[in-house]
Structures are given as C-alpha cells and as structure tokens.
Amino acid sequence: MSGLPLKITNPRQIDQPAEINSRYSDAQKAKIANAAKQFESLLTEMMLKSMNKTSGGMFGGDSNDGGFGGDYFSTIFESQMAEMMSKKKSLGIADVLYKQITGENLEQSFKKPEGMLPLNLDKIEVNKSLQSLPAVSPNSKALDRLSKYEGIIDEASGYYGVDKNLIKSVILTESAANDKAVSSAKAKGLMQLIDSTASQMGVGNVFDPRENIFGGTKYLSEMLRKYDGNVKLALASYNAGPDNVDKYGGIPPFDETQNYVKRVVGYLNHFNGENYGNDRSF
C-alpha cells in the first residue's frame, strides 16, 4: 500500500445537478441549530437558578452558611440539568429561533432523507470484503491537521448518518487534511470538491472547512444510499462518478480509482483498529 499516490479528484463526480432550496447550506443550518439549542439551554439554566433561589439552592447555601460548597454544586447541577432538559424535552425556544432565521422547522430540517443509512460496517453484509485489505497508518502530520476538524466531522457524521471514520479516511486520502489543497483538476479543500460539485451540494465557500466537510459528506451519503451501503462502490463513485461505476458494474478499471478505494479502506481499517494481514484481494 506504500506506493499508492494521493488521490486527485476526478471531475466526473456529479452527473445530475441538485436543486438548492434553502438560502443556508446544511453546514450553516447545523451551526444555527447548535447555537439556538445552546441559547435555549442557557435560558433554561437561568430559569432553574431563579427557581432555586427561594430554596437556597438544590444543595443548600454557600459555605459561609454551612452549605459546604452547596452553591458551587448547585451551579454545576443546574447547568447539566438545563442541557439535559433542552436535549430531551425542548421548551420550543430553539425551534422558534431556528425558524425565524432559516424559515424552516428545526425537526423537519434535520430529518434525515428517506433511505439514509446509518453506516455500520458490522451490520452491512456487503462490506465484509473490506476486511480483505490491510490497515494503512496515516502520516502523523496529516493526523495532526485532521484533529482540528474532529468536531465538524462528528457533526457531519451525525447529520448525514455516515461513519465518522469513513469521513476521516476520505479526507486523508483526498487532501491529507490540507484545507487549502487544490488538485490539477481544480478540486479544492479537505474533501476535494470541484466547483460544480460544491455548488450542487450547497457549499458557498469551498475552502471553509465546515462547508467543505458537510458538502463532501453529503455527496458521500448520497452515493452510499445509491449503492445500498456498499462502501467500495460509494468510494469508487466519489472518485470516478456514478456513471462509470454503473457502466462497469462495479469499481471501474482505472488505476487511480482502484488505488483510491484501497487507500480509503486502508485508513478506515486503521481507524477501526483492524488489520487483517497481507491479503490484498480486491
């Protein structure tokens, strides 16, 4: 695997344009939703504080009143309680704020498209063949760069139902986690989106890490759904385009695409802590 080149994105990624209805991209909407939920949590915490003042706090008064730090523990408890309340049983404040800004309902906006697959390699039978490829250890500098985007990757993973380790593996293969990377085919950013792909995925600034990761993950999720969770075919399509995958009835016989899929799966097996020896069958 050591001789595999860094993938250069093929401009055949997208064959049909996607209609963009919202003034905000998915990445922007996720950020707005997170801020609205944090505001609701903060407001809930303030309400709890106000309610507890009449009883001297949940754990008694401050240490001067014999409460032995009760005021401190009350503050911590109130904060955690508010966060849990906002997640489990919303007061509706976040929904109102989100709709005022985006014009969409929070729950509906973040409802995964029909057929969205929560990628679980252990449960998708067609992906058992991934185990035939050995793990590949990423470059340490690339891993350091990648670590800066852990939070965004987690968000994109949750939003689109794509395994976060698969997203990381694609980023490393595409750009070695260099957010300023530009290929000879003019693919740009962490997940190497060409301009037409970026536009069709709702990406406004291809060099913005959040926008790029959400756009790339969105396209990857569409390919996973198209090929019923087959990771190899989804990756081949990400590289060479779905037309070529369909034309050849599988991974196209292009050296770049063959090496690309092997590299991504090798990284994926590394992140999953799996190494199945030297069997390189594909």
- The one catalytic residue among 45, 78, 155, 174: 174
Q: How far apart are CA 257 and CA 239, in angstroms?
A: 6
Q: What is the C-alpha to C-alpha distance for residues 135 and 47, in angstroms, rounded to an integer?
A: 51
**For residues 212 and 223, what is the distance between their CA atoms, to the nearest angstrom?**
17
- State the Cα–Cα distance between residues 92 and 110, nearest whole angstrom: 15
Beta carbons within 10 angstroms of residue 68's beta carbon: 13
Nearest to 81 by CA among 121, 127, 46, 132: 46
**Is 81:88 a contact under the CB 8 Å cutoff?**
no
Closest CA to 98 of 39, 43, 16: 39
**Radius of gyration, alpha carbons of the chain:** 23
Active site residue 256: no
Say if residues 264 and 281 touch (Cβ distance below 8 Å): no
In a 10 Å sphere around its CB, with 0-12 CB exposed, 13-18 middle and 19+ buried, how is residue 42 labelled?
Answer: middle
Helices marked H in 176-230 — which ranges? 195-200, 209-226
How many angstroms from the chain centroid is the CA of residue 108? 19
Q: Which residues are catalytic?
A: 174
